[in-house]
Amino acid sequence: MIRTNYKLVLKVDILHTYFKDDVCNCLRFEPGMSSSSLQKRFGFLMRQDTNGFELYINSRQELSTLFDYISSKTGNHSFEFDIKQIDPYFSCFTELPVGWLGQLQFDSSAALNREEEEILILATGFPANNIISGAGKISLNFNDILRLQKEKGSAHFRILFTARATQWQYYIINKSAIHFTNLQISGSRDIEFGPPQNVKIPSGEEALLFSSGSSFLPLSEAPKFRFNLINNGPVTANADKRTGTKIIYKGLPNPSPRQTETVNINGLKHASSPMYVYV
């Protein structure tokens, strides 16, 4: 009978506000070249989870003794993991600097890390632009792993991603040739869309553009906002009832990360979400 003594070395989980319950299952994690070699040589086992991974070791030896031995024999003082995108639109629905290209970096020794509820939250690093394959890298120092295990019984790391907030833009194309007197977008007292502007969309069609202006709304996998396109006609004692407030389009679409552009506001670039609605 083969006996194993696998024990948990560390756990990393990823939370993302774009997804329901913040569970991010759009990334995959792989050991870097040196860490892959360490796993094979010293019996580490990596187990993928829905939104992260765990690392185990099959040994009765004290972890501090093992890490000292690994460092003396290999010169390695940390585990390195590569982050791979499963969803190609990850960078579109994640709050990242607009126009930034590069590989995200997470380091357990970074000064901006913080601890919450016995979990070390890894700060996001944005190194100088460099186009490298993969979404990012995670570096977990042996000393940080040992410190967390000593203080809390286990080394638990977490990465937090925030959904990208964009300027929402509704392009209303009137295909029914109905005369509207006063189109507006309603649905939330906290979010106002400015008065419509007459514009031409890329197809050459005339449209009315409603923009959320300086109000930036977060993208989400499941719709969180509900807006209606209404027509506020004149309301007078002699007015026909049909000229009063009327819903023209109930439940306007929420934006898709597949359609993300940029808009310039006060000299700064922001992300925008164009949506084309035919009525």
Give mean pLDDT, residues 131-141. 82
Domain that holds residue 73: 6-161
For position 135, what pLDDT does the model report?
86
Last residue of a domain, one of 119, 136, 161: 161
Give mean pLDDT, residues 25-29. 93
235 has pLDDT over 50 = no
| 128 and 41 fall within a common domain | yes
Tokens of 263: 């808009």
| 84 and 180 fall within a common domain | no
242 has pLDDT over 60 = no
Q: What's the Cα-to-Cα distance from 20 to each of 67, 83, 110, 227, rounded to whole Å?
A: 38, 21, 29, 20
Sort residue 66 into left (φ over 0), alpha (ψ -120 to 50) or beta.
alpha
For position 134, what pLDDT does the model report?
65
Sort residue 267 into left (φ over 0), alpha (ψ -120 to 50) or beta.
left
Give mean pLDDT, residues 1-9. 71
| 50 and 144 fall within a common domain | yes
Last residue of a domain, one of 161, 184, 216: 161
Tell me, yes or no, whether 255 lies in a domain: yes
| 175 and 227 fall within a common domain | yes
| 250 and 238 fall within a common domain | yes
| 173 and 157 fall within a common domain | no
**What is the total count of domains within the chain?**
2
Relative to beta strand 6-16, strand 156-161 is parallel
pTM strictly above 0.95: no
| 126 and 178 fall within a common domain | no
Tell me, yes or no, whether 100 lies in a domain: yes
Chain centroid to CA 275: 20
Tracing tokens 């396109």 back to the chain, one arrives at: 229
Nearest to 43 by CA among 6, 18, 12: 6
Q: Note the pLDDT tens digit of each residue in 148-188.
A: 998 877 899 999 999 999 999 999 999 887 788 889 999 87
Q: Is 32:9 a contact under the CB 8 Å cutoff?
A: no
